[in-house]
Amino acid sequence: MTPADLSRTVLHAVRRAVDEDALRAPVPARVRVERTRPGGSGDYACAVALQLAGPAALPALEVARILRERVAAEPGVGRVEITGPGFLSFTLDAPAASDRAVLAAVREQGLAYGHGDALRDEIHQFHHAPEVRAAVTAQTVRRLLTAQGARVRTTCEQAPDPDWVRLGVTVDAHGTPPVPLTGIRPVPAGATAGELLERLGPDAARWGLLRAAGHDRAALGPELLVQGEANPLFRVRYAHARARALTRGAAALGFTAEAAAQGEGAAAPATHGESPAPYGEVHTEPAPSGAQAANADPAPYGEIGSGPAPYDAAARPLLDLIADHPGVLLAGARHRAPDRVARQLEAVAHAFFDFHDSCPPLPAGDEKPSAAHRARLALAEAAGTVLAGGLSLLGIRAPDHL
């Protein structure tokens, strides 16, 4: 169960309690679930009982008890506790099952992983100054909101700069709106779109304009073009390119990613000349025979047949970041903060390289591809998908070769 799944499960429990007349309160539009802070209980926590206590005219602890019994029986939820004044704390089922669900979601949704309909009932109209940073920010906020189901319209105070098109920016209209609209006014870039394109190119320019929070000055110097780990944009794009290279390398060695994330058997080996499985696809083969199974490598990383065994410690930060990605995209949309998405991608890239160096997804030397390599490759490909999808929302290319 992913954090987004858990949020929907809790919301469904609220609706059931209201429908059954166990709770008399308006059903909220959404329920926020957060990771438990250090020292807390369980994997995730939720304050919905405190939110509903007033409208329901009940103590928060009583509301929490009503919801606990309806959530505890849901698949994927191991334990539900009530802590403090009425917080619900959730412990999910064995990490391996939860991890497989996250990787399965990434495989199924591909670049749209993290998109949703949480804001489907919202309509936004943004108005921005005729300045490049405001234009790029407004257009990116529009992408984030649209990815969450909202409808968005943008307007500019004056006719748009023709160079904006080269930065991927379009506006619906320009001029003074008949009624005041929500303004997008970050600290100006101090340069025109043409100047930035000439110095940095579209990808580095967009990253520089979006990486800093709107109230901070954007860093738009030559460091954005440095091809080294000191440049966050390079690290993010190189992590994606490296993930794609791992897929190509595995195909050349005759194997593909482990499909156990969807509860299936081992992935079918790719034949030479066959295209490697693109992000979002799954290849499977029949389960091995008894003799084959007896000689097979033990299934690591929580694969089928390994029971509740957790992933290696080196994989944990990367798995957690991938699981948190939908929540980061939703928060970036709600707060009109593309910088949150950029920082998330930096964190994923950092965790990817730590994982890659500690748990190589490809065999070395005379080593044969094993179940461990297939599982590691699946995680590496999921990271690549998250990086590509996030860069796409920021309007930045994710090259397969770098």
Pairing of strands 182-184, 123-128: parallel
pLDDT(332) > 70: yes
Give mean pLDDT, residues 122-132. Answer: 93
The percent of residues in the chain predicted with pLDDT above 90, rounded, is: 61
pLDDT(129) > 70: yes
CA distance 380 to 242: 9
pLDDT(27) > 80: yes
What is the tens place of the pLDDT at every residue in 213-262?
A: 999 999 999 999 999 999 999 999 999 999 999 999 999 999 998 654 43
Give mean pLDDT, residues 17-33. Answer: 90
What is the tens place of the pLDDT at every residue in 67-90?
A: 998 998 787 788 899 999 999 998
pLDDT at 210: 97
Residue 346's pLDDT band (cuts 50, 70, 90): very high
Residue 97's pLDDT band (cuts 50, 70, 90): low
- Position of tokens 């699946």? 378
- pTM, rounded to two decimals: 0.72
Would the CA dihedral through 38, 68, 4, 55 be positive or negative? negative
What is the tens place of the pLDDT at every residue in 251-300?
A: 999 999 865 443 333 333 333 333 333 333 333 333 333 333 333 333 33
Contacts of 372 (CB under 8 A, 6+ apart): 297, 300, 301, 359
Residue 46: strand, helix, or coil: strand
What is the tens place of the pLDDT at every residue in 301-331?
A: 333 333 333 356 778 899 989 999 999 999 9
pLDDT at 1: 67
The percent of residues in the chain predicted with pLDDT above 70, rounded, is: 85
Q: Whole-angstrom distance between the N-terminal and C-terminal Cα of the chain?
A: 34
pLDDT at 289: 36
pLDDT at 248: 96
To which H or E segment does residue 141 belong?
helix 132-147
Dig out the tokens for 174 from the structure: 């320009």
Mean pLDDT of the chain: 84
What is the tens place of the pLDDT at every residue in 32-50?
A: 888 887 777 788 899 999 9
CA distance 179 to 317: 47
